[in-house]
Amino acid sequence: MDRRTFVRSSALGLAGIATSGALTGVALADSTSTAVEGALAGAGVSVAEATPAWLGEEPQIDEAMITADYNADILVVGAGCSGSAAAATAAQMGLSCICVERGAGVPETREYLGGIDTKYSIEAGVETDKGRILNELSRYASGKCNRDLINLWIENSAEMIDWVDGILTAAGKQGEVTVTPDHETGGTSYLTPSCEHIWEPSYVYPMRNDLFVQIAQEADNPVLFNCKLIKLIHENGMVKGGICDYAGKLIRIYAPYTIIATGGIRAIRR
Ligand SMILES: Cc1cc2nc3c(=O)[nH]c(=O)nc-3n(C[C@H](O)[C@H](O)[C@H](O)COP(=O)(O)OP(=O)(O)OC[C@H]3O[C@@H](n4cnc5c(N)ncnc54)[C@H](O)[C@@H]3O)c2cc1C
């Protein structure tokens, strides 16, 4: 979902979080692919037809263990690079949004941000051949990539850099693009596009994602840390929010739109 496609719906209704209760009502399923695939095979279900094994099974949750219900236009799961940006965008668009992050704070990130034909590239006199960068990134992925997604980035990254630039320069940082000439490696000339942007001073608080989270919080949109999504809410075949373990208590967040932003290296490690 891009920044233009958020749609306003219900208002945020925040109630207090109940202060008692432990997570004894949650039975987490064995989510190892071997175990799930084995169980499916035993039931005569082809893995190819079933829920992908790596997703595991949804936990069974005792409704009585839910300590609080919330409503928002959007639930964002994860406050990393994409989740914090989504939460900030929702706030800027006047939407109510709850962002949940299983970590104790805004996750650390590397601050380089890629963009093509940005104001910084133009200032630096950098021209990018869009067809060539599409081919280079596809080659880099041995063709196992979504070229439409790469094109989306190629066509929209300048606007994205403008948006980030407004936030970071307002915080006293100065942007620049790293200019990297093409070079030979092993006799092959690779495209090394000048698309990496950084804002100085970098890697000092507040970093990019800290600022995104601040924008959400200043709009009174909660960013809940130590809050882990454990189950999505399904209604009529649609995802309508999620149930989270919030510091040892179960909370339920209803939202017409849910953005799963749990990808990236921290998730892969687990
Ligand atoms: C060493 C290294 C250097 C890199 N350098 C750069 C760089 O310079 N520029 C660049 O653009 N990219 C860089 N990357 C890649 C970049 O970090 C990832 O592409 C990016 O973090 C992905 O963003 P994301 O929002 O999808 O995931 P993440 O940033 O990983 O955020 C996902 C968040 O979801 C949370 N989460 C997971 N499960 C749940 C749950 N069930 N409930 C609640 N929260 C949950 C996680 O705790 C995490 O905070 C680098 C990666 C590495 C490893």
- Enter the pTM of the model: 0.82
Q: What distance in angstroms lies between residue 198's CA and the mean position of ligand 1's atoms?
A: 17
Quote the CA–CA distance of 179 and 161 in Å, as a whole number. 16
CATH number, position 73: 3.50.50.60
Q: Which domain holds residue 152?
A: 115-194
Whether ligand 1 lies within 6 angstroms of the CB of 177 is answered as no
Q: What is the pLDDT of residue 234?
A: 92
Residue 89 and residue 127 share a domain: no
Atom of ligand 1 nearest to the CA of 85: 25
Candidates 265, 268, 270: which one to mutate for ligand 1, based on the most atoms within 8 Å of Cβ? 265
Q: Is residue 204 part of a domain?
A: no
Same domain, 161 and 187: yes
Residue nearest to atom 6 of ligand 1 (CA): 110
Q: How many helices (H) and strands (E) does the chain have?
A: 7, 15
User: Residue 175: CB partners within 8 Å, gap ≥ 6?
Assistant: 120, 161, 165, 168, 169, 197, 198, 199
12 domain residue, yes or no: no
Residue 109: per-residue pLDDT: 85
pLDDT score at 71: 98
Residue 111's nearest CA partner among 161, 65, 37, 186 is 161
Q: Which residue, of 134, 167, 194, is where some domain finishes?
A: 194
Q: Are residues 188 and 119 in the same domain?
A: yes
Identify whether residues 33 and 159 lie together within a single domain.
Answer: no
Q: Distance, CA 77 to ligand 1 centroid (Å)?
A: 12
Domain tally, the chain: 2
How far apart are the CA of 86 and the centre of ligand 1, in A?
Answer: 13
pLDDT at 26: 42
Reduce the DSSP state of residue 106 to 3 states and report it: coil
One domain, residues 93 and 38: yes
SS3 149: helix
Domain boundary among 168, 194, 220: 194
119 and 88 part of one domain: no
Do 92 and 213 lie in a common domain? yes
Per-10-residue mean pLDDT for the chain, 270 residues long? 39 33 39 47 53 71 95 98 97 98 92 96 93 92 93 97 98 94 75 91 96 98 97 93 97 97 63
Same domain, 40 and 83: yes
Q: Does a structural domain hold residue 200?
A: no
253-256 long-range contacts (CB < 8 A, ≥24 apart) are: 253/69, 253/70, 253/71, 253/72, 253/75, 253/98, 253/100, 254/69, 254/70, 254/71, 254/72, 255/71, 255/72, 255/73, 255/74, 255/75, 255/98, 256/7, 256/9, 256/10, 256/73, 256/74
Q: What is residue 38's predicted lDDT score, i.e. its pLDDT?
A: 54
Phi, psi of 236 (to 5 degrees): 50, 45
**Residue 178, in any domain of the structure:** yes
| Boundary residue ending a domain (194, 218, 250) | 194
